[in-house]
């Protein structure tokens, strides 16, 4: 298992599992728990959820049913747009812990930037950090300007920025900015799948790109493994979602091959600034209509 050391010394597994819409949007049942248990049996220890995903309870059940010690897991959750603000943040965090049935989180993220509430939200999160209820604080979908805003007042530095990143949308200027400031990059939709409700067709995804397929064949691995390795070799965290056992296994087992520098450059060259998921410039208005389930 690969690890990345965050800027506060906490280590995060470089390959984790994203839990958005496992089974379906805001599905929280035994199917979700069983899917997570399969991932645990393969070796996954980092799991990325959010209050709005509606499946924190299923993740908590899986952790308990696994029989493994809590400290072997790295658990991330996120605060939704409608939960931001000073007192609301404390309430939202407490609800997440209650649903997960955990005493602490490893990483807590602001799910989307809402600049009007960022200072209140972050300062509330800093209190949770000081109380040792969370081991690290981070961001998701934050633009350079959003990070610069936090830098003007934050006492606790964000350890990561979780962004949409795949071969068709590399966000290199933002990646360079974050990495220069020792903010780790975590990639959601690393295979370019977009959200399951986005309507992005298979033919639009980098996983079927002829270059990716060619490189995969040359290494006798899957196209998904090539894309994930491309991220891992560039010191980024990946959280692909998978529900089939064979896909979970291949996403996790990235040893036995190494991409050459020229192959990495070729994949970098596929960038077309093609966003497949939500855009932080416009997402907030729609996010306000999405309810966090109880």
The catalytic residues are: 53
Q: At what angle do helices 210-219 and 261-268 cross, to 10 degrees?
A: 160
Q: Let me know how long the chain is.
A: 294
> Do the beta carbons of residue 232 and residue 14 sit within 8 Å?
yes
> Do the beta carbons of residue 161 and residue 199 sit within 8 Å?
no
Which distant-in-sequence residues (6+ apart) come within 8 Å of 218 by Cβ? Answer: none
User: 79-89 in b/e burial notation, b at 16+ Cβ within 10 A?
Assistant: bbbbbbbeebb
Q: What distance in Å separates the CA atoms of residue 180 and residue 64, rounded to the nearest whole number?
A: 38
DSSP run (H or E) holding 36: helix 30-42
Which distant-in-sequence residues (6+ apart) come within 8 Å of 166 by Cβ? Answer: 187, 189, 190, 191, 192, 206, 227, 276
User: Taking CA 198 as the corner, what is the angle to CA 142 and CA 22, rounded to the nearest 5 degrees?
Assistant: 85
């Amino acid at each position: 298992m690969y690890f990345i050391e965050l800027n506060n010394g906490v280590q995060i597994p470089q390959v984790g599992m994203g839990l958005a819409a496992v089974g379906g949007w805001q599905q929280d049942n035994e199917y979700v728990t069983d899917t997570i248990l399969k991932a645990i049996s393969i070796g996954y220890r980092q799991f990325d959820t959010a209050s709005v995903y509606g499946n924190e309870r299923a993740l908590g059940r899986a952790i308990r049913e696994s029989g493994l010690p809590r400290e072997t897991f790295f658990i991330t959750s996120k605060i939704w747009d409608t939960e931001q603000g000073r007192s609301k943040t404390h309430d939202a965090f407490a609800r997440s812990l209650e649903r997960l049935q955990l005493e602490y989180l490893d990483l807590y993220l602001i799910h989307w930037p809402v600049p009007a509430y960022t200072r209140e939200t972050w300062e509330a999160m800093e209190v949770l950090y000081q109380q040792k209820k969370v081991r690290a604080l981070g961001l998701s979908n934050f633009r350079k300007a959003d990070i610069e805003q936090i830098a003007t007042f934050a006492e606790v530095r964000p350890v990561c920025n979780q962004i949409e990143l795949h071969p068709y949308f590399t966000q290199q200027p933002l990646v360079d900015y974050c990495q220069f400031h020792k903010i780790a990059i975590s990639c959601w939709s690393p295979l370019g799948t977009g959200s399951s409700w986005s309507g992005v067709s298979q033919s639009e995804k980098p996983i079927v790109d002829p270059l990716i397929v060619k490189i995969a064949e040359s290494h006798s691995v899957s196209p998904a493994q090539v894309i994930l390795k491309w991220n891992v070799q560039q010191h980024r965290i990946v959280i692909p979602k998978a529900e089939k056992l064979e896909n979970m296994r291949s996403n996790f087992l990235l040893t036995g091959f190494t991409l050459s520098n020229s192959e990495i450059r070729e994949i970098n060259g596929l960038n077309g600034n093609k966003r497949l998921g939500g855009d932080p410039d416009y997402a907030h208005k729609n996010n306000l209509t999405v309810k966090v389930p109880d």
